[in-house]
A and B are shown apart, each in its own frame.
Chain A
Amino acid sequence: QKEVEQNSGPLSVPEGAIASLNCTYSDRGSQSFFWYRQYSGKSPELIMFIYSNGDKEDGRFTAQLNKASQYVSLLIRDSQPSDSATYLCAVNIYFGNEKLTFGTGTRLTIIP
């Protein structure tokens, strides 16, 4: 079983709609969770991180964490064409260790 799993997509969402990206992880002791956006040919850029159960909002982005279900999601409201990218979920599995384990990424396309 992969440590961090994401649906590879592609996920197509109309402009202005909500895009929902999901990620599951296998290690119940995982501590912190990150969402990165990666445009083609570029390196990842951090969108959000979340440590505690519940929702965390930042502008059009909301991260949701459910540790009991070992599930983290990213919602993008009012999707824009510029949101078209691959979204990587990353998990910090070992407490006190900065190492991140990445999922394979979900390719998101916003349709104008």
Chain B
Amino acid sequence: GAVVSQHPSWVICKSGTSVKIECRSLDFQATTMFWYRQFPKQSLMLMATSNEGSKATYEQGVEKDKFLINHASLTLSTLTVTSAHPEDSSFYICSATNEGDSYEQYFGPGTRLTVT
């Protein structure tokens, strides 16, 4: 149980275009979903926290107009990287907490974004 999927697993896009990444909880309802970014040889940096039906809470330094997060249902959150640039190339990982087990975060497999 507690499986989180992400789609796509990798994506290459041209500079200036937008990319949408989906995060789904497959067998539980996720009260909260988190979006992280990880650059090579660095740790996970939290970008934002999203709760179903409400606006995401962004961490300091993360541009909310560039990284659009939508949490439309208890099983789906999306991250859209708008007007992507090469410096946005990174490993994007989502996680979700189970409604009945709020302290443990279940991680998706990650999405490798490369902007050319």
Q: Which chain A residues have a beta carbon within 8 Å of chain B's beta carbons?
A: 32, 34, 36, 41-46, 49, 88, 92, 98-105
Query: What class of interface size applies to chain B in its complex with A?
Result: 20 to 34
Q: Are A43 and B103 in contact (CB under 8 A)?
A: no
Given contacts A32-B103, A46-B104, A92-B103, contact A102 B43 (CB under 8 A): yes
Specify which of A41, A49, A105 is in contact with B43 (CB 8 Å cutoff). Answer: A105
Q: What's the least CB distance linking A84 to chain B, in Å?
A: 15
Q: Are A49 and B46 in contact (CB under 8 A)?
A: no
The count of A-to-B residue pairs whose CB atoms sit within 8 angstroms is 46
Q: Are A44 and B103 in contact (CB under 8 A)?
A: no
- What's the dominant secondary structure at chain A's contact region? strand
Add 5 more A-B contacts to A41-B91, A99-B46 (CB < 8 A): A46-B105, A49-B104, A100-B46, A104-B42, A105-B43
Residues of A close to B104: CB separation below 8 A: 34, 46, 49
